[in-house]
């Protein structure tokens, strides 16, 4: 018997519907994953009852001795995992982690250089609709128009001209390896701080499937809920010389009492990522992404930059015609969702449509990899994606093919159980 079903059956039923959606479908959102039962248990624990404003040994309230131990474990494990000198695990999201770094080292209207949102960057990297774009001056760099990859010589030229206070690297929709060393060298040349946001690739970095930014750039931020497979939250890593500035910026600068139940979940996540099996998991994410990309290319679909080196694939839909107009990201997301395949619309280089419509589609493999799927399964999913998109281009009004794929997806997903002990 569930306490929640007795107390609030309306919320209980909605959670149950979401559970069934996850069980019966395929989650291919590149920024999402499936946490372990241990992480779920920690986040849903009694740690949520305590206000622990401050840091271990320097709290503003009594009764925090066990919360101090939990936070210290989380910090120590994160440092061990990435080889960092200092870690702050209190940031409640990746965006707030980024904001804390800016707040620590920049003044109002100081200039930052960062990757343009429409070409793979993130809102919190100075987008004009975000507080970072309103509070700081921003100069965006993009990808090369031909290769659709980062041109470091071009970025260096821009930095020499702009003389930014901070250079931000890291992306939310960039399917290739990022050269953090190149970014640090550019920043050193122009006297700028260098911050890497590895929110998307943190699990790949921890598992040795992507080069690290920690110990290379000045400050590294991350989320804990993407490829790292932990609870929703953020974290910051830096050298000892920047530790005090970062900690003061997070608290009291940016936020109040930390979410200690989430920090407990982060500690569990870091422990799991320190196990040898996590390296195999990280490598499998990339193998799966490459396997799916190969199938999509074979099916005649266009991939931004022609492929992937990491956990995500960015589809360019502009060659998929529907009555004279190309299929939009919004349409593709909707149709695939009806087939039980969850993806998200995304801008692409040279984007001409609104961010609410887009010409691209972002696909990621972390969550399905967590469910135990490998290359053969990715190939099957790739064929389903192509089948749906090609069919709707022929006839948007027909849902027969979508219905058939949905049945096949549900039968397929049932073989990869999700929290079978939860009923």
Tens-place pLDDT, residues 274-299? 999 999 999 999 999 999 999 999 99
Q: What is the pLDDT of residue 175?
A: 97
**Tens of pLDDT, residues 165-190:** 999 999 999 999 999 999 999 999 99
User: What is the Cα gyration radius of the chain?
Assistant: 22
Q: What is the pLDDT of residue 419?
A: 83
Instruction: Tell me the fold of 40-274.
Output: 3.40.640
For residues 398 and 120, the model is more confident at 120
Q: What is the pLDDT of residue 158?
A: 98
DSSP 124-160: GGT-TTSHHHHHSEEEEE---TTT-S--HHHHHHHHH
Annotated binding residue 123: yes
Residues of the chain with CATH 3.90.1150.10: 283-422
Q: What is the pLDDT of residue 375?
A: 98
In the predicted structure, residue 420 carries a pLDDT above the cut 80: no
Annotated binding residue 231: no
Confidence of residue 422 (pLDDT cuts 50, 70, 90): low
Annotated binding residue 41: no
> Of 117-126, 133-142, 164-173, 206-215, which range is least confident?
117-126
Q: Say if CB 141 and CB 113 are below 8 A apart.
A: yes
Average pLDDT over residues 122-151: 94
DSSP 183-205: HHHHHHHHT-EEEEE-TTTHHHH
Which contiguous run of DSSP H or E holds residue 100? Answer: helix 94-105
Q: Which backbone phi and psi does 207 adopt, to 5 degrees?
A: -90, 5
Average pLDDT over residues 254-266: 96
Give the strands of the sheet with 111-115, arranged side by side.
Answer: 86-88, 234-238, 219-223, 193-197, 166-169, 111-115, 137-141
Annotated binding residue 354: yes
Annotated binding residue 261: no
Q: What is the mean pLDDT of the chain?
A: 95
In the predicted structure, residue 80 carries a pLDDT above the cut 80: yes
Q: What is the pLDDT of residue 325?
A: 80
Long-range Cβ contact pairs of 326-334 (< 8 A, separation 24 or more): 326/359, 327/389, 327/392, 327/393, 328/353, 328/357, 328/358, 328/359, 329/353, 329/357, 329/358, 329/359, 329/360, 329/361, 330/356, 330/357, 330/358, 331/392, 331/396, 332/361, 332/389, 332/392, 333/361
Annotated binding residue 85: no
Q: How is residue 308 written in tokens?
A: 């992937």
Query: CA angle, corner 55, sides to 51 and 58, nearest 5?
Result: 95
Give, as one character, the DSSP assignment of residue 327: P
DSSP 334-384: HHHHHTTEE-EEE--TT--S-TTT-SEEEEE-HHHHHTT--HHHHHHHHHH
Residues of the chain with CATH 3.40.640.10: 40-274
Kindly report the number of other CB atoms within 10 A of residue 125's CB atom.
28
177 three-state secondary structure: coil
Spatial separation of the C-alpha atoms in residues 361 and 15, rounded to whole Å: 27
Q: Say if CB 299 and CB 217 are below 8 A apart.
A: no
pTM value?
Answer: 0.95
**Tens of pLDDT, residues 197-208:** 999 999 999 999
Residue whose token pair is 């069980």 = 23
Spatial separation of the C-alpha atoms in residues 401 and 365, rounded to whole Å: 24
Q: What is the pLDDT of residue 421?
A: 58
Active site amino acids? 51, 53, 197, 223, 226, 232
In the predicted structure, residue 396 carries a pLDDT above the cut 80: no
**Tens of pLDDT, residues 370-386:** 999 999 999 999 999 99
- CATH class name, domain 283-422: alpha beta
Confidence of residue 414 (pLDDT cuts 50, 70, 90): very high
**Tens of pLDDT, residues 328-343:** 999 999 999 999 999 9
Q: What is the pLDDT of residue 399?
A: 82
- Which residue, 225, 119, 117, 123, is CA-closest to 175? 119
């Amino acid at each position: 018997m569930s306490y929640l079903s007795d107390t609030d059956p309306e919320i209980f039923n909605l959670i149950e519907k979401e559970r069934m959606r996850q069980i019966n479908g395929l989650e291919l959102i590149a920024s999402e994953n499936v946490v372990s039962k241990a992480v779920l248990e920690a986040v849903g624990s009694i740690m949520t009852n305590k206000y622990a404003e401050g840091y271990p040994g320097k709290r503003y309230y009594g009764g925090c001795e066990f919360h101090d131990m939990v936070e210290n474990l989380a910090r120590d494990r994160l440092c061990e995992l990435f080889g960092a000198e200092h870690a702050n695990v209190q940031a409640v999201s990746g965006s707030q982690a980024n904001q804390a770094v800016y707040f620590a080292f920049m003044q109002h209207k100081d200039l930052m250089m960062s990757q343009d949102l429409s070409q793979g960057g993130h809102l919190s990297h100075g987008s004009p609709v975000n507080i970072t774009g309103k509070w700081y001056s921003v100069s965006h760099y993009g990808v090369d128009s031909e290769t659709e990859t980062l041109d470091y010589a071009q970025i260096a030229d821009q930095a020499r001209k702009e003389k930014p206070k901070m250079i931000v690297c890291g992306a939310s929709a960039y399917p290739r390896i990022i050269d953090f060393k190149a970014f640090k060298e550019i920043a050193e040349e122009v006297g700028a701080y260098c911050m890497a946001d590895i929110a998307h690739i943190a699990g790949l970095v921890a598992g040795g499937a992507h080069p690290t930014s920690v110990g290379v750039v000045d400050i590294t931020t991350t989320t804990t809920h993407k490829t790292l497979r932990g609870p929703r939250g953020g974290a910051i890593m830096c050298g000892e010389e920047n530790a005090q500035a970062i900690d003061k910026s997070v608290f009291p600068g940016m936020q109040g009492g930390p979410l200690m139940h989430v920090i407990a979940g982060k500690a569990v996540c870091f422990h799991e990522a320190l196990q040898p099996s996590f390296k195999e998991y990280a490598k499998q994410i990339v193998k799966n992404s490459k396997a799916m990309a190969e199938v999509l290319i074979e099916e005649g679909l266009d991939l931004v930059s022609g492929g992937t080196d990491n956990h995500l694939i960015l589809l360019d839909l502009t060659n998929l015609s529907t009555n004279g107009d190309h299929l939009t990201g919004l349409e593709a997301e909707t149709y695939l969702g009806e087939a039980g395949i969850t993806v998200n619309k995304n801008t692409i280089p040279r984007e001409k449509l609104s961010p609410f419509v887009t010409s691209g589609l972002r696909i990621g493999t972390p969550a399905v990899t967590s469910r135990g799927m490998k290359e053969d399964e990715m190939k099957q999913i790739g064929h389903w994606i192509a089948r749906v998109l090609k069919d709707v281009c022929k006839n948007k009004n027909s849902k027969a093919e979508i219905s058939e794929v949905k049945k096949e997806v549900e039968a397929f997903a049932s073989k990869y159980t999700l929290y079978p002990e939860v009923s």
